[in-house]
């Protein structure tokens, strides 16, 4: 899971993808280098990684 943010820098406005763990922390925009805080309630998006089947569940009689 990752967070999708919009850079608060009006002249930038780029979409930034930050890890879920960056909530409430300061991140830096990769485009304009502006540092800003990630809102606690930032929207999360599913990553592009496909869901892997969970190992460990063995069929049992």
Site residues (vs Zn ion, CB under 5 A): 7, 9, 12, 29, 31-32, 34
Q: What is the DSSP string of 18-61?
A: EEGGGTTSEEE-TTT--EEEPPTT--EE--SSPPPPPTT-----
Closest to Zn ion by CB, 36 vs 44, is 36
Q: In angstroms, give the least distance from the CB of 17 to Zn ion.
A: 13
Q: In angstroms, give the least distance from the CB of 13 to Zn ion.
A: 7
Question: Which residues on adjacent β-strands are paired with residue 19?
Answer: 2
Closest to Zn ion by CB, 3 vs 7, is 7
């Amino acid at each position: 899971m990752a967070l999708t943010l919009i850079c608060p820098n009006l002249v930038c406005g780029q979409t930034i993808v930050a890890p879920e763990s960056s909530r409430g922390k300061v991140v830096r925009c990769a485009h304009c280098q502006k540092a800003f805080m990630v809102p606690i309630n930032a929207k999360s998006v599913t990553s592009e990684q496909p869901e892997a089947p969970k190992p460990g569940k063995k069929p049992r009689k």
